Amino acid sequence: MTPDLFFEQLVNGLSLGSLYALIAVGYTVVYGIVQLINFAHGEIFMMGAFGAYTVWLLAGSPTELSAAAALGLLLPAMILGGILVAVGTALLTERFAYRPLRGAPRLAPLISAIGISVFLQEFVRLFYGRIPGFPDSKRAIPFPHIEGISGNSIQLGDVSIKMTSVFTVAALLICTAFLWYYINRTKTGRAMIATSQDPDTARLMGIDVDRVIMSAFAVGAALAAVAGVAHGMYIGNIDFKMGFMAGLKAFTAAVLGGIGNINGAVVGGVVLGLVEAFAGQVGDTAWKDVWAFVILILVLVFRPQGLLGAKVVDRA
């Protein structure tokens, strides 16, 4: 492998890994607090991407914006719209599908989550395209061109780095910084830590556990929505089933880093992205998706607590 090729795959791996990391945080935060694998999280990511796309449509599908207008107005509006849709969906599913099942045998919320996942995919597939003026959602929808990011790249010697990659990695860095501040420096964040350590004691100390769980779902959904926008720009299109594979990979990343551990999710995501990029370069791309799952199984055999380790909660 030439150094150029190596560098190219490094950038690919980092961008892919940043996407996985952004989604993986959602799995890990929710798992840390309620010990639930939110199977529908991949669909929340998809809803975020569709929310952002909807904002672009409602803004009149602008195509001829200047870079300043696109980056200063359109993109923030799209990200905000995506976050609103994703957080709304996540809170609704939490309220109507998961909260009533708290305390039920563990199988129940997991099955409910599968139901939500299928429902959301089908809902978007069947009904999004029916809104007048919206594109057919049964096939992939091209994501809008954001002047200043899409199609641009920066040159570093012989290598060119796509701006979409820069955006994705930057998104991860900014989101992680915010997340760190939110968890460690705000009242809600510390309530989340307390609840994840011992929900009953937290309740006795006056923490509203329901609110904490809702904020965990909301935080995860917000990051997933950012990932949805980044994914749309990086891949170039969005579709109703984009959440399935991405969700699986992100879950793998969360397990890889140690589920329940937020830093672990970020590290796991980046590692998984790099492994996938280099494995695809060295081996046959037809087997690309298999690698992630082989890693998942290997981690479970040899290091079930993940790379960074997390307390293995087993509240039977």
Partner 1 sequence: MIARLSAYERVGRFAAIAGAALVLLSVMLPWAYGKRALDDMTYFFGPSPLQLCGAGVAAVCLAALIAGLVALPGRGPTMLCWNDMARVGGIGLAFYVGAVLVAVAVATGGLVNVEAGGWLAFGGAVLAALGGLTLPDSPQATLSHFLTPSWGQIAAIVVAIASALFAAAAAVNQGDVEDFVVFGVWLAAAIFLVRASGVFAWLSLAAAGNRQVLVMAAFVAAFAFPFTQNGSDANMSVAAQVLTFAGTAIGLNIVVGLVGLLDLGYIAFLGAGAFTAAVLSKSAFATLSVDLPFPVVVVISGTVASLLGLLIGTPTLRVSGDYLAIVTLAFGEIFRITMNNLDGTDGPNITHGSNGVPGIPNLNLFGFDFGQSHEILGVTLTRHANYYMLLLVVIALIIVVFTNLNHSRIGRGWVAIREDEMAAEAMGVNTFALKLLAFAGGAFLAGVAGSVKAYTDTSVSPDQYVFLESAFLLAAVVLGGMGTVMGVLIGATILKLLPEKLRFFDDYRLLLFGALMVLMMRFRPEGIIADERRQLEFHDEDEELAEDVETELVVHQAHHNLEGGKRS
What is the sign, positive or negative, of the torsion defined by CA atoms of 63, 64, 70, 74?
negative
Which of 67, 92 has the CB closer to partner 1?
92
Which of 58, 114 has the CB closer to partner 1?
114
Length of the chain: 316
Which of 204, 316 has the CB closer to partner 1?
316
Q: Is the backbone of residue 298 left (phi > 0), alpha (psi -120 to 50) or beta?
A: alpha
Amino acid identity of 277? Answer: A
Which of 68, 104 has the CB closer to partner 1?
104
**CA 227 – CA 231 distance, rounded (Å):** 6
Rounded least distance, CB 81 to partner 1, Å: 24
The number of beta carbons lying within 10 Å of the beta carbon of residue 130 is 9
**CA 21 – CA 267 distance, rounded (Å):** 7
Binding residue for partner 1, selected from 61, 66, 122, 173, defined by CB under 8 A: 122
Q: Which two structure tokens, joined as six digits, stand for 251?
A: 């879950």
User: If binding means CB under 8 A, how many residues of this protein chain bind partner 1?
Assistant: 48
Please state whether beta strands 141-142 and 153-156 pair in parallel, antiparallel, or not at all (unpaired).
unpaired
The number of beta carbons lying within 10 Å of the beta carbon of residue 170 is 13
Question: Binding mask 197-236 vs partner 1 (x if CB under 8 A, - otherwise)?
Answer: ----------------------------------------
Which of 68, 312 has the CB closer to partner 1?
312
Binding residue for partner 1, selected from 1, 5, 58, 126, defined by CB under 8 A: 126
**CA 28 – CA 176 distance, rounded (Å):** 13
Interacting positions 277-306 with partner 1 (CB under 8 A): 284, 286-287, 289-290, 292-294, 296-297, 300-301, 304
Question: Residue written as tokens 């305390």?
Answer: 103
Contact of 26 with 41, CB cutoff 8 Å: yes
Nearest to 77 by CA among 114, 47, 111, 52: 52
Binding residue for partner 1, selected from 150, 168, 252, 261, defined by CB under 8 A: 252
Which of 35, 152 has the CB closer to partner 1?
35
Binding residue for partner 1, selected from 54, 77, 91, 115, defined by CB under 8 A: 115
Interacting positions 71-100 with partner 1 (CB under 8 A): 96-97, 100
Which of 43, 147 has the CB closer to partner 1?
43
Binding residues for partner 1, rule: CB under 8 A, are 35, 37, 39, 96-97, 100-101, 104-112, 114-123, 126, 244, 248, 251-252, 255, 284, 286-287, 289-290, 292-294, 296-297, 300-301, 304, 312, 314, 316
